[in-house]
Amino acid sequence: MALTLVNPSGLPEIDVYRQVSIASGSKLVFVAGQVAWDAEGVTVGEGDLAAQVEQCYLNICTALAAVGGSFDDVAKLTFYAVDWTPDKMPLLLEGISRAAAKLGVAPVPPSTLIGVAALDVPEHLVEIEATAILD
């Protein structure tokens, strides 16, 4: 595997992600921000943050599979969430959990969450971009 995920001592241990990603692979993959579109471009889970997060994860996996990777190769995620407030965290975590169960992965790479006013399409509640490392 091209990545090692760690929580160094001296930093808080966060259950849903690791603080540091160490890359040893040779191919850097940037996945464009994924929204909750299915393969036909139809929004999945309109008005449902958890469903949209789940679809974003599935789309990231589809993109990585196309270049020979998987979610296990993700070194960093960035979330852009519309009108973010901390009370939305359980829905975000539910979506991550549902995607992890479908994909059979433990999605814990370092992550950044950024609240935004809007995304490209009004019904999109979240966009997630990924950086991966492949051997």
Residue-wise pLDDT tens digits, 68-114: 999 999 999 999 999 999 999 999 999 999 999 999 988 778 999 99
CB 95 within 8 A of CB 50: yes
What residue type is 113 in one-letter code?
L
In this structure, the chain runs to a length of 135
Distance from C-alpha of 105 to C-alpha of 108, rounded to nearest angstrom: 9
Report pTM: 0.88
- Over the stretch 43-69, which tens digit does the pLDDT of each residue have? 999 999 999 999 999 999 999 999 999
